[in-house]
Amino acid sequence: MEHLTVDVAIIGGGTAACAAAVALREAGLTVALLEKRLCGAGASGVNFGGVRQQGRDVAELPLSRRSRALWDGLNAKLGEDVGFEATGHIKLARSESDMAVLEAYARDAAEHGLDLQLLGANALRAEMPWLGPAVVGASLSPTDGQANPRVVGPAFARLARRLGAELREHSPVRHAAHDGAGFTVEAEGVTVKSRSLVNAAGAYGGAVAGWFGEAAPVAPLSPNMVVTEPLAPLVTRSIGVVGGDVYLRQTRRGNVVLGGGRGTADVADGLARPVSATSLAAGAKTLALVPDLAHAQVIRSWSGLDGEMPDHIPVIGPSSTRPGLVHAFGFSGHGFQLGPAVGEILAELVTQGRSTSPLHPFRIERFAGWRGGPYRSEGEIEH
């Protein structure tokens, strides 16, 4: 059994956790990070890969704007190409009422400095003649884009390690507690003592919060993903729809990644798997948007395990019961773009006790006295 004593222990090895380890090392603190499998292998690594501000809950927009600025410099920071491309994200309307939703959202987004361009059917077809007849209009966010989720988390993990953070993979955390003097985190093969503790445990974030007497109803969420073989360039932008029942993008390599609906997840073993009927349904919805994909072949499907909160926005902020404990979990299927900024925010919370970003909507206290009982997440997941 290994024993480590550090300034900050981090539970979880997703992008936000690894980015926090980087920022904390840059601030001169010692860090130990505990990941049950491999860093960046959970929701951080198997998501759609959308780097999107558009369509988020407006409460998330300040964080998302902050993160977007970081994405431009990620390759340089990480020393690796993470595949980020500002292809723009376009959200499609399939009815006039959808269009009204987009118009209202564009007004809200403008207040947060996010400029969206509303496109009518003619303007949209002029730019993207390959869109199907179901589409009547759209909202374009030119600065949004996409990246390769499989490499971002691992690259942050390696940078953290290069900066001197102690990363322990295949080390699931069994329990964490505070003895009045500091935190003790017991993981498989290693025990960590620390002054501060970061709970970035994703779908398990609620359980960690529970160890400190805090209610946080997290439901497992497993987006269903499908990818085609590489195709000639066609889908120029990352695409979503009002309602969120389907989304797609074409990678640099040419594969079209499409998502929609949910897979199944086993929270106990942490594994999620896609559902065939859902994959086929997402394919049909995709073809309604982009009929030219009719001859594409699907080569793989997958899912991953994330945590979803009842109000679909994460918990980010200090613990309400235990000073020194900081939470960031429950990203509800859209944490990938936020990861780099959340890493910085976590480091601010640990080192200064507050953040320059507005975190009030994400406070864990909003679930104090949660009476909902076991909570089951459902409905569409917007990416």
Partner 1 sequence: MAEATVAIVGAGPAGLRAAQVLAEAGLRPLLIDEGHRAGGQIYRRPPPGAERPAADLYGFEAGRARALHDLAEALAPRIDYRPGTMVWGIAPREPAGFDLDCLGPAGHGRIAADRLVLATGAMDRTLPFPGWTLPGVFTLGAAQIALKAQGMAIGRRVALVGAGPLLPLVAHQYAKAGATVVAVLDVTPLGAKVRAAPRLAAVPATLAKGVWYTLACALRGMPVRSGVRALAVEGDHQVEALTFEDASGRRHRVACDAVGASFGLRSEAQAADLAGCRFVFEPLTRQWQPVRSGQGHSSHPQVYLAGDGSGIGGADVAELQGERAALALLADLGRPRDTSREARLDRRLARQAGFRAALEAAYPYPHHLVDRIGDDEIVCRCEGITAGALRRAATEREAREMNRLKALTRAGMGRCQGRVCGHAAAEILARRLGVPVEAVGRLRGQAPIKPIPLREPA
Name the site residues for partner 1 (rule: CB under 8 A): 38, 41, 45, 80, 150-151, 154, 157-158, 228-230, 253, 273-277, 279-280, 283-284, 286-287, 293-302
Rounded least distance, CB 258 to partner 1, Å: 8
Q: Using CA atoms, how far apart are residues 165 and 86, in angstroms rounded to an integer?
A: 31
Rounded least distance, CB 41 to partner 1, Å: 7
Pairing of strands 137-141, 183-187: unpaired
Rounded least distance, CB 379 to partner 1, Å: 22
Closer residue to partner 1 (CB): 24 or 39: 39
Rounded least distance, CB 98 to partner 1, Å: 24
Rounded least distance, CB 188 to partner 1, Å: 17
Q: Using CA atoms, how far apart are residues 156 and 380, in angstroms rounded to an integer?
A: 29
Rounded least distance, CB 160 to partner 1, Å: 12
Angle (CA) 311-196-337 rounded to 5° is 40
Token pair, residue 72, equals: 């431009």
Closer residue to partner 1 (CB): 241 or 328: 241
Pairing of strands 31-34, 190-199: unpaired
Closer residue to partner 1 (CB): 40 or 220: 40
| Integer CA distances (angstroms), 165 to 137, 178, 252, in order | 48, 22, 32
Token pair, residue 82, equals: 């993470």
Rounded least distance, CB 169 to partner 1, Å: 9
Closer residue to partner 1 (CB): 41 or 207: 41
Closer residue to partner 1 (CB): 211 or 302: 302
Buried b (16+ CB within 10 A) or exposed e, 193-216: bbbbbbbbbbbbbbbbbebbebbb
Look at residues 313, 303, 305, 304 and name the one whose alpha carbon lies nearest to residue 216.
313
Q: For residues 36 and 127, is the Cβ–Cβ distance under 8 A?
A: no
Closer residue to partner 1 (CB): 84 or 183: 84
Closer residue to partner 1 (CB): 115 or 266: 266
Closer residue to partner 1 (CB): 119 or 296: 296
Directed axis angle between helix 339-352 and helix 149-162, to 10°?
Answer: 30
Closer residue to partner 1 (CB): 242 or 293: 293
Token pair, residue 22, equals: 């980087």
Cα Rg, the chain, nearest whole Å: 20
Angle (CA) 323-325-330 rounded to 5° is 135
Q: Using CA atoms, how far apart are residues 204 and 13, in angstroms rounded to an integer?
A: 12
Q: Using CA atoms, how far apart are residues 64 and 69, in angstroms rounded to an integer?
A: 9
Rounded least distance, CB 70 to partner 1, Å: 21
Rounded least distance, CB 83 to partner 1, Å: 11
| Integer CA distances (angstroms), 361 to 68, 273, 367, in order | 20, 32, 11
Handedness of CA 371, 375, 258, 120 (dihedral sign): negative
Rounded least distance, CB 372 to partner 1, Å: 25
Closer residue to partner 1 (CB): 108 or 229: 229
Q: Which residue has the tokens 């235990």?
A: 322
